[in-house]
Amino acid sequence: MNVIALNGSPRRDGNTSIALNIMAEELQREGIATEIIHVGGLAVRGCTACNFCAASENNLCFFKDDGVNDIGLRMRAADGLIIGSPTYYGSIAGTLKCFLDRVFYSGGRSGAFRNKPAAAVAAVRRAGGVDVFNQLNNYFNLLEMVIPPSQYWAVAYGRDKGEVTGDAEGIQTLRRNANALAWLLKVLDAAKDTVPLPRVEQKIATNFIR
């Protein structure tokens, strides 16, 4: 089994990276390979809602020159996901937001993310990290993914590089979240031949403005 972890920070080796590496080490102790991909430094356009992906082969995005499609396909093929972001103005880092909008809007059409385990982690100096954590989980909930638990919100506190390592509770929360992700991956793998996945229905879309 393998997990793809996305570092959404523009800083390749900052606190978000440290938090993801802590989770990756826990997963690797459980025998699950983990690859961290740095997407925060990409030059990524936002989604234009052109709906090209609705009819394209493999439901790929129209923009093909910025790595979103290639990384998105690797995310679809992975057994589980972790997405990490710093906190910018109480929100997800801008580049990561553009990346996730496109990956999940196009990939969601393929159904590849449905029932896939996924965990979110936020790095923050003081406040706003819970908002980032919730925003990341919105992607998972909308695509019917499975979110592993922990003892608290997966938020690690620190400003300067390495400060998150001084947040003992935050680090423990990340480890427990990664351990729960490993457990969930193993449970789903063990049950795949005996327990059917939840029934999929044709979505009913209701607009509130008539």
User: CA angle, corner 116, sides to 111 and 117, nearest 5?
Assistant: 155
Burial of 34 (0-12, 13-18, 19+ CB in 10 A): buried
204 falls within a domain: no
Residue 208 has pLDDT above 90, yes or no: no
Residue type, 167: D
In a domain, 196, yes or no: no
Residue 82 inside a domain? The answer is: yes
Q: Which domain holds residue 133?
A: 2-191
- CA 187/CA 5 separation, integer angstroms: 20
Do the domain assignments include residue 33?
yes
Convert the pLDDT of each residue in 125-135 to its tens digit.
Answer: 999 999 999 99
Tell me if 202 is assigned to some domain: no
In percent, how much of the chain has pLDDT > 90? 95
d(CA 185, CA 12): 27
**Whether residue 150 has pLDDT greater than 90:** yes
* Mean pLDDT, residues 63-85 taken together: 97
- CATH code, 10: 3.40.50.360
Q: Is residue 206 part of a domain?
A: no
* pTM greater than 0.85: yes
What does the pLDDT read at residue 55?
Answer: 94
Question: Is residue 208 assigned to a domain?
Answer: no
Q: How far apart (Å, rounded) are the C-alpha atoms in residues 91 and 99? A: 14
Number of separate domains in the chain: 1
CB count within 10 Å of CB 50 equals 10
Asked if residue 176 is part of any domain, the answer here is: yes
Q: Looking at residue 163, what DSSP letter applies?
A: G
Transcribe 130-154 into DSSP letters: HHHHHHHHHHHHHTT-B----SS--
C-alpha span between 13 and 21 (Å, rounded): 10
